[in-house]
Amino acid sequence: MTDDVFFAGISELNAQLKKREFSAVELVRAFAERLEKTGPRYNALALPLAEVALRRAKLVDEELKRERYRGPLQGIPFGAKDLLSFAGHPTTWGAKPYASQIFDETATVLKKLDKTGSVLIGKLAMVELAGGPYYRTASASLFGPGLNPWDRTRWSGGSSSGSASAVAAGLVPFALGSETSGSIVTPSAYCGITGLRPTYGLVSRHGAMPLSWTMDKIGPMCRSAEDCGLVLQTIAGSDAADAGSAGKSFYYTPQFARKLSDIKVGFAAADPDAAEPAARLAFEQAMGVVRESGVQMVEAKLPDFPYGALTGTVISAEGSSVFEELIASGGVNELEDAYQIEGLKAGLGIPARDYLKAMRIRSLVKQKFRELFADIDVLVAPARYGVATRIAEPLGGGGAVAGNAGDMRSLIPAGNLAGLPALAFPCGFADNLPVGLQLVGPAFSENTLLALGRDFQNRTDWHKRRPPAA
């Protein structure tokens, strides 16, 4: 087995398994050993699960021998953010007060992946309690600062830190992450991988740590748009156990993708200049690649709302309510990040007036986005407007972009407030670090986002680049 295996796509690995080039046990063992050996280099590993994984892989091999095929994820190892419960094993939520927490039940998404024969090889590190709008230091995690495989003096992004760095470094073929406001898009951009934030309600959160009931989403973090489509198809679907479930399924249908020339892509002309100087050229060139695909490019502007105040209020109020017991018991003081601790405490004092006002304004945000998407199919913008933060520097407010003007820099909080899907993918480099674009579309437009992402990746090779030490 060569190192190329660690950077292969899901379909390629599955085809090799079917051709018996290697067994599921061999594949799982190779990835599990690599994850266990190299994961700590990036503070990416929360819990190795090699033993359980190898038992599962043996069963997959028996199925493959009988030619009982379950789909493209069969026999593919993966990692899951440590906010997803896996029965009988620790689920720490990245936080010291929950370091020995064990659930009896397995999260719906992990059960779904298990049914297709995909093999969980490890839990991946995360920002404590998935961060919210509070934390300001990269070290806000039980596992230490998430280190970026492209440069370990840089942050891997959060809160799905381990998921992103593990995929980037070839420690897992794909991972599950979660996003409340930026936690898939940001680490995907910083680590140079492809991440999909699904429409709110499309993927069950049953068995996942809640941070904000009205904003949490679980999604795939992979090497390519193609792989994101394959994973999303497996984990999406109605779940009566999730009160936010939209009751919808998702079928990845690249064969029925709309003609690109029929798609209107909205962009902000000022966007490249809004980026850090070192990243501007990469974004300009990437926008050129999008334009060359034949889509109709039209100028667009985000609806004007106080996005930072809205996400801050909603996530603070809901997150502090979720962790009310932790706060009351004093356990909150065991968290790593002082801003996180004080933010959670203060959030309990948010008046109903502010929370309800935020949720009422959120209704207008959704309405304005529906109007915007009546004329435009997709918005494109930098996923982050610069490269990964240095771990020695304070973070700019919980990893989420806070903005008050109606420009694309607010696309992360805006898209999350409206429950819209986003695809983040690598589009170039600045200062030897990856930068990415994000595509955002109306609710349940994942197939359109994936078609555009796939086209971009068919014409570029940024998603195939490997970090120097990997």
Partner 1 sequence: MKLSRRELAGALIAGTALPAPAQNPPAAAAVQDAADALRRNSEALARFELPQSTEPAFQFRA
**Contact letters (x/-) for partner 1, 161-200, by CB under 8 A?**
----------------------------------------
Tell me: does residue 59 bind partner 1 (CB under 8 A).
Answer: no
In the complex, the smallest distance separating the C-beta of residue 354 from partner 1, rounded to whole angstroms, is 5
d(CA 21, CA 9): 15
81 is catalytic: yes
Interface pattern 341-360 for partner 1 (x via CB under 8 A): xxx-xxx-xxx--x-xxxxx
Using the minimum distance from each CB to partner 1, give the nearer residue, 260 or 309: 309
Sequence-distant (6+) residues with CB within 8 A of 438 are 185, 189, 380, 381, 382, 383, 411, 412, 422, 423, 424
Which of the residues 85, 183, 245, 320 is marked catalytic? 183
Q: Give catalytic status of residue 183 as yes or no.
A: yes
- How, if at all, do strands 175-179 and 378-382 pair? unpaired
State the CB neighbour count (10 A cutoff) for residue 316.
Answer: 24
- Give the DSSP letter of residue 145: P
Please count the residues of this chain forming the interface with partner 1, following the rule CB under 8 A: 57
Cβ–Cβ < 8 Å for 260, 294: yes
The whole-angstrom separation of Cα 226 and Cα 458 is: 10
| Overall size of the chain counted in residues | 470
Given the residues 85, 118, 156, 159, select the one marked as catalytic. 159
Q: Could you say which residues in the range 239-268 bind partner 1, by CB under 8 A?
A: 243
Closer Cβ to partner 1, 139 or 321, answer by number: 139
Segment interacting with partner 1, rule: CB under 8 A, options 6-14, 90-98, 137-145, 445-453 = 137-145
- Pairing, β 217-222 against β 194-197: antiparallel
Query: How many CA atoms are closer than 13 Å to the CA of 387, on its beta-carbon side?
Result: 20
Which of 88, 254, 394, 396 binds partner 1 (CB under 8 A)? It is 394
Report the run of H or E that residue 79 belongs to, with start and end. strand 77-81
Looking at residue 198, the DSSP 8-state letter turns out to be P
x/- map, 144-163, partner 1, by CB under 8 A: xx-x----xx----------
Q: Which is nearer to partner 1, 75 or 170 (CB)?
A: 170
* Bridging pattern class, strands 77-81 and 194-197: unpaired
Q: Taking the complex as a whole, how short is the minimal distance between the CB of residue 453 and partner 1, in angstroms? A: 28
Q: Give yes or no for residue 70 binding partner 1 (CB under 8 A).
A: no
Q: Looking at 21-29, 68-76, 258-266, 303-311, which segment touches partner 1 (CB under 8 A)? A: 303-311
Per the listing, tokens 């962009």 go with 267
Q: How far is CA 139 from the centre of its chain?
A: 19
Selecting among 81, 112, 123, 217, the annotated active-site residue is: 81
Provide the minimum distance between the beta carbon of 153 and partner 1 in the complex, in angstroms, as a whole number: 6
Compute CA distances 48 → 125, 217, 270, whole Å.
11, 24, 45
- Residue 248 C-beta: closest distance to partner 1, Å: 15
- Binding residues for partner 1 (CB under 8 A): 40-41, 43, 133-134, 136-139, 143-145, 147, 152-153, 214, 243, 305-306, 308-310, 312-313, 316, 336-339, 341-343, 345-347, 349-351, 354, 356-366, 390-395, 404
Q: Which positions are catalytic?
A: 81, 159, 183
